[in-house]
Structures are given as structure tokens and as C-alpha cells.
Amino acid sequence: MPAKLSSWVHPSGWVLEPEPSTFAPSGRWSNKDMDPVPPEKDYPGVTLACLIGPKLLMNFVVVHFRRQALPAIAVGTSIISVVMVLNGTVGARLHVSFPVLNRSSFGFWFSYFSVISRMVLSMFWLSVQAYTGSQCVYQMLKAIWPSIARMPNHLPPSTNITTSGLMCFFLYWMILMPFMFVSPQRIRWLFMLKAVIVPPAWIAMLIWAFVKVPSNTALLDQHSALSGSALSYAWLRAMNSALGIYATVAVNIPDFTRYAKHERAQYIQLAIIPLAFTFGGFIGIAVTSAGATLYGKVLWNPLTLIDHWDNRPAAFFAAFSFALATLGTNVSANTISAANDMTVLFPRYINIKRGQIITAVIAPWAFVPWDIVSTAQGFLSFMNGYTVFLGPFAAIMVADYWIVHRCKVDVPSMYRPYGRYRYTGGFNWRAVVTVLVTVPPNLPGLIASVNPTIQIGGAFKIFDFAWLFGFFVSLVVYSCLSLMFPAKETFVDELITNNEESPDYIDTPSLSESKESVPRETKNTV
């Protein structure tokens, strides 16, 4: 076996070369992609269009809840945009990723709980989005060659996917994979193309809805049949669903804003996200209502709606726009998020590019998304209900940086397992208590959403606004605990971002495998 090939067979051949700028005491704890991003580096940013999920928008606004959904969408997305800017500003200011930043609030080891949770969630949604993308590929092929609808199926019904469906899933996966080998900085054109094509395509669908069905029939006459407290809880449920679309991004947005040249570059989200999502919600309501009027049933999936169209060019371009949307989301959000988590879990072996490739190879197939979408509605409900954890995660991050430490943190210590953010055995008990206080009240509702046969009475009502409850209660609980019982070792007089003047760390040979370093009390700053 050639020497070069032989080196890749052994684990040592996969070890990443250590970088001089690494803050951690050894290559075991960090690599180049985990280090703070140099301010001079540029990044295309997260195109807002790639995060708008038309399928989700159409999903929660149908049946009994029409125009009243729009204010709920506006309020919900306004709230989540503020949280995104607060956490995003931290990433833009410190230039560190979510998994590293999280150590300062959760503790070095407890942060792995949120990191692993977020990684699994990103891989799950990558698989679901990939299946949605495969449905887009099917509609495009059907528009070109209608005979694909008559392709013989050689798979048993128990697989929950047809031969043509599996072929389209493989084609979408083949389209996705090449983007994993290219840095996001080098595919700016993909996000620009998406921003140019996707919004006009959705506007065209809105025009179709009003042309095919008069607005007073499709939208204006369809009022909610709910009233009183039932309407109030439905309104809260819609608002929670609206902000839940961005609940994951509100937590891991430092993964993207860390590349920003200026903090103010992301402030536009405060206006763009509520406007874009409210307008997207209006499109979802109008198009779904028009489909219900024309075809006699609610078609919440826009691809199912497209399948009813006779205009083949229109069907192709509409499906193409949705395929482009899923591709952009998977490239810019799902794979990068999971890859950042993997760099923290295995920093010696995995960087962002390797993490993206691993995610794209494993996730679409391992989660078997056609089974999830077709039969495992309980599991899908559980993953949708994961906001019961994301609300507290986001709140702890906001409270710790802005309220408790007042923007004064020690960045190099975030890379050291025995640095100032070790807290108690690597766990910040204040964060642990906050999670234990805010998550359990939502668990009965989460269980009932997975298995509707379980009766929990009024306990389900809290789950209707799970993220709102988790976020605001966690914000108060964590702030109070941290201010009443401060972790004094974590406080610094000024922001520390530089390794040269950060507290000195001396390796302890006898504890080299367990205790990497011992801090010396200094407070040099940048």
C-alpha cells in the first residue's frame, strides 16, 4: 500500500494540523475553524430567503385560523428577530461560534448538552429538507417528462416511498453533495440566485391564487370559527409556531455572524424578518385557501398543490424555486450548524468542511425522512416540539452575556477546560437549575403532541406557547440566580479577546490528560 494512502487508514492520518493561533492548551481542544475568525475575513452572510420555509408557513395557518394568523406571525417573528440580533451581536463582536460561546454560560462540559442537541436537530431537519427537495425534483421531472408519474414501482408499500421517489431523493442528494466541498464564502452566487428567483416565484403563486379564485372567496370570507379563550390559545399557538421556525437559528446564529465585519451588518434582521415572514404567511394563507376552493381539500404542502397544475412550465419553475430554497437552507444552515458542533466534539479530526461532508453523507439516509413524513407523525411532532429546550438555551445565552456579565467576557478562556468558565466540575449549576425549572412544565404537552391519546387536561395549554414560556421564564430565573449567587471567577474588568495578554496557563505534567492547565490571576485586557 502506498505510504500516502496508508497514512489515511490510521486515525493519526486524519489529525488536523495545529494552528499557531489556537487558544486551547493543546490540539485536543481546538482547531483553526473553532478559533475566533480574524476580522478581515469576509463571509456572504445568511441570505434571509434561504431561511424562509414556505411549507411551514402554509402548514400552521390553515383550517379555522385565517387572517388572525397574520398578526400572530408578525408579533412572533418580531420577538425572535430581537433574540437573533442579541445573540448574533455576540458572535459578530467576539467572532466565535455557538459551541464555543456556549461554554461561557453553560460551563465547559454542560455546554455539550446543548451542542449535541443542536447537532442532532440540524441533521434531522437536513434529512427532512432533503426529502422535500426530492419532491421538488420529482415535480420538475414530471413537468418535463410526464411519464415519470407512470413509472412502475418496485418497492413494497411498507417502505413508504416509490421507486421514482427514491430516484429523485438520490438525485437531490447528488446535487447537494458537491456544495459540501466548497466553502460558503465561494458560493455567494447560490444565495444571490436564490434571493433573485425564490421571492418572485412565491409572488407569482400569490398572483395565481387571486386570479384563479376571487379574493373575497379564497381569503376574505374565511374567518376563524374560534372565539374567546380558544381563539386566544390558537393565536398563541400560531405565534409560537411562527417564531419556532427560527428558534434554532436564534440559538446558533453566532455560527454565521462570527464572520461579519461589522456588528451593524445584522441589524437589518429586525425589520426584514417580520416583514418577510408576515408577507410569506399571507402568501401561504392565500394560496392554501385558493387550493381548498379549487380542489375541495386543504393542500398545506405547496408541492402537492403544484402537482394539480396543468401548466407544465409554471409547475417546473415553481418546483425549481422551492428546490433552490431547500438547497440554500441545507447548505447555509443545516450542514454548517452540524459541522460546527462536530468541530467541538472532535476538534482533532473534524473541521467545518469535514463536518459538512459527514453530515450530508449520513443525515439524509440515516433518518429515513420518507418514513418520518409518512408514518412517524409522533416523532415529527417531538422534533417540532423541541422548542421547549431551544427557548431556555437562547434565554440563558442572552441573560449571561447582556445582563450578568454585561458584555465583559474572556474569549481565550472559552477554549480551556480548566479556565474561568469551568464553574463547578464543568457545569454552571445556575444554567442546570434554569433548564430543570423551565422544561418540565412543557413536557406533558410535548408527550401529548407525540401521542394524542394521552389525556393531560389543561397542561397542554402551556405547550401552546412553549418557546415563549421557556424563554422569558428562563431569562428571569437565570438572571436572578446568577446575580444572587454570582460565579465571581467568571467576571473580568474588560472584554478579553486576545491570547497574548489573557490569563497565563501553565500545563501540569502529572495531570496532562485530565487537567490541562492552572489559571494564574491576571486581568490583562485588549
The pLDDT tens digits for 129-146 are 999 999 999 999 999 999
Query: pLDDT value at position 48?
Result: 41
Cα separation, 430 vs 64, whole angstroms: 42
Helices 352-366 + 163-176 axis angle, to 10: 180
Nearest C-alpha neighbor of 232 from the set 118, 68, 423: 68
Q: Is residue 4 within a helix (H) or strand (E), and if so which, with residue range?
A: helix 3-9
Query: pLDDT value at position 52?
Result: 42
CATH code, domain with 162: 1.10.4160.10
Query: pLDDT value at position 227?
Result: 63
CA separation, residue 280 to residues 25, 309, 346 (Å): 48, 21, 39
Task: Determine, yes or no, domain membership for 86.
Answer: yes
Task: Determine, yes or no, domain membership for 525.
Answer: no
Torsion angle in degrees (nearest 10) through CA of 345, 111, 259, 351: 0
Degrees to nearest 5, angle at CA 500 with 522 and 525: 50
φ, ψ dihedrals at 424, nearest 5°: -105, 100
Task: Determine, yes or no, domain membership for 524.
Answer: no
Sequence-distant (≥ 6) Cβ neighbours of residue 211 within 8 angstroms? none
Query: pLDDT value at position 456?
Result: 73
φ, ψ dihedrals at 455, nearest 5°: -95, 125
Task: Determine, yes or no, domain membership for 199.
Answer: yes
Degrees to nearest 5, angle at CA 464 with 439 and 239: 115
Positions of the chain with pLDDT under 50: 44-65, 500-501, 503-526
Task: Determine, yes or no, domain membership for 526.
Answer: no
Cα separation, 484 vs 426, whole angstroms: 20
Task: Determine, yes or no, domain membership for 432.
Answer: yes
Grid cell 412544565 in the structure block, residue? 441
DSSP, residue by residue, 320-382: HHHHHHHHHHIIIIIHHHHHHHHHHHSTTT--HHHHHHHHHHHHHHHT-HHHHHHT-HHHHHH
Domain count, the chain: 1
Task: Determine, yes or no, domain membership for 12.
Answer: yes
21: domain range? 3-519
Cα separation, 130 vs 509, whole angstroms: 48
Q: Provide the residue type at 396 as one letter.
A: I
The model carries a pTM of: 0.86
Helices 466-484 + 228-244 axis angle, to 10: 70
Query: Over the stretch 25-83, which tens digit does the pLDDT of each residue have?
Result: 665 667 788 888 876 665 544 434 334 443 343 443 343 445 667 888 899 999 999 99
Sequence-distant (≥ 6) Cβ neighbours of residue 33 within 8 angstroms? 340, 343, 351, 352
